[in-house]
Amino acid sequence: MICLARSWLEKGIAVDVKQQSSQPLEIYDRHVFSQSRVYRAHAVNHLAYGVSSTPRATQMPFPVVVDRAEGVHITDVDGNTYLDYGLGYGPLLLGHTPKPVLEALQHELSKGLRTASIHRGEARLADLIAELVPSGAQSAFVSSGSEAIQLALRIARAATGRNTIAKFRANYHGWFDNLHVANTIGNDGAATIGQDPDASQSVVLFDWGCVDGLADRLDTRFAAVIVEPAAINAGCFGPPDGFLQALRDITSRLGIVLIFDEVITGFRLALGGAQQRYGVTPDLSVLGKALGAGLPIGAVSGHREVMQVIASGRLLHRGTFNGNPVSIGAGIACLETLKAEQATLYPRIDRIGSAIAVHVNAEAKAHGAPIFAQNVGPCVQLFAGVTHMDGMAGLPKIDRSLILCLTSKLLQQGIYTLPRGLMYVSSVHTDDDLAFTKQAISTAIDHFMQGLHANR
């Protein structure tokens, strides 16, 4: 078994498309990807890099082309079926085909597209957010998480009359130049070529989870502190005790707007998001992903005092597709479903997330495998190259190419994770799915170790 990811990753995230599409089929354990290979060979002609978001090309042993999905299963163009823990990069908290959401979409479509018009759904969704999210008294809608982040920064600057923004290392806040920096530990710079180096001049970096020094370095130049309250993108780290409260106390004292980026954690770690789970309420929350149940949406939701700059009409909030009825309809159906099912849904997805992490660690230990998993509720991160993780300081020790090998082995066992080892549990994963997952994890780790030994 050859681990191909290493040579690819040595070149950075970019995978050599020609090399990838000419790999011999022998390396694939179980699934054949012939139609995905045909698609990819064609797609790269006119579709830049053959994907619409660069990380999608990193999937191993091959980026599968999805044909259809139902519940929590996806089927690719070769007819392979996978139990999905990628959930469309997170939005599909209710799975791929939630009945109330599909019905709401059909209802909206039957009334025409009405894009960029005012309609009744927008206020209804804002009402629901105000009811469910502690900081959510008033909302403004956009079409993605990245856009919502930018709107939140603009609101914070307008509300304070200040400019400087505090960002934490290894937190991800979307792909726009100003905050697309310090996304990984060890690189405080831009995440990609082509970014404007001046765009992040007003951004000051801090270490996530560290309270020491925060009070000394934050002052009245700062408009906002933006933070992932649970650092899911870095590898599913829950906030250390007292961290979020310290942020709350210091920002309140200095008149700085505290922004929780709840694009992943919103409606997922609890109905009211991470702020409900950890009991700390920010001034502004950025929402996205699960809010739209699979449709594109983003929102900034905040206290009235801070939102006043936008509520008064003084701050320009623009966007052709903002508040489009289809995404809003999906959002309403999604939040109403979550509200109705909350009593059983949240304990179940937390339990399944924990059970997966526990099983990975038990199997890793039994096989002597350099694999470790940790979870924050229904978000599970698989690491390779390490056997434990002591906070973010441990991140430089992980082997990202080995994670691709591990997720490749899982894919071959019918488990679809995000290539970088992140797994999301949905409301429609069952205990039978968990049993299947555990079995697949055991086999995948076994195959992973065989590959590792064969490569030595």
Ligand X SMILES: Cc1ncc(COP(=O)(O)O)c(C=O)c1O
The catalytic site residues sit at: 172, 261, 289
CA neighbours within 13 Å on the CB side: how many for 220? 3
Which CB atom, from 57 or from 355, has the smaller least distance to ligand X? Answer: 57
What is the closest distance, in whole angstroms, from the C-beta atom of residue 264 to ligand X in the complex?
A: 5
- Nearest alpha carbon to residue 325 among 292, 286, 285: 292
The Cα–Cα gap between 354 and 377 comes to: 7
What is the closest distance, in whole angstroms, from the C-beta atom of residue 297 to ligand X in the complex?
A: 8
What is the closest distance, in whole angstroms, from the C-beta atom of residue 179 to ligand X in the complex?
A: 9
**By Cβ distance, which residue is nearest to ligand X?**
145
The Cα–Cα gap between 18 and 40 comes to: 10
Which CB atom, from 156 or from 264, has the smaller least distance to ligand X? Answer: 264
Which CB atom, from 269 or from 364, has the smaller least distance to ligand X? Answer: 269
What is the closest distance, in whole angstroms, from the C-beta atom of residue 442 to ligand X in the complex?
A: 30
Q: Cis before residue 61, ω within 30 degrees of 0?
A: yes
What is the closest distance, in whole angstroms, from the C-beta atom of residue 168 to ligand X in the complex?
A: 11
Give the chain's radius of gyration (CA, Å): 22
Which CB atom, from 151 or from 158, has the smaller least distance to ligand X? Answer: 151
Residue ranges binding ligand X (CB under 6 A): 144-146, 149, 172-174, 228, 233, 261, 263-264, 288
What is the closest distance, in whole angstroms, from the C-beta atom of residue 143 to ligand X in the complex?
A: 8
Which CB atom, from 104 or from 297, has the smaller least distance to ligand X? Answer: 297
The Cα–Cα gap between 33 and 25 comes to: 8
What is the closest distance, in whole angstroms, from the C-beta atom of residue 290 to ligand X in the complex?
A: 11
Which CB atom, from 77 or from 205, has the smaller least distance to ligand X? Answer: 205
Contact 35, 77 (CB under 8 A): yes
The Cα–Cα gap between 207 and 222 comes to: 16
Which CB atom, from 261 or from 350, has the smaller least distance to ligand X? Answer: 261
The Cα–Cα gap between 106 and 325 comes to: 11
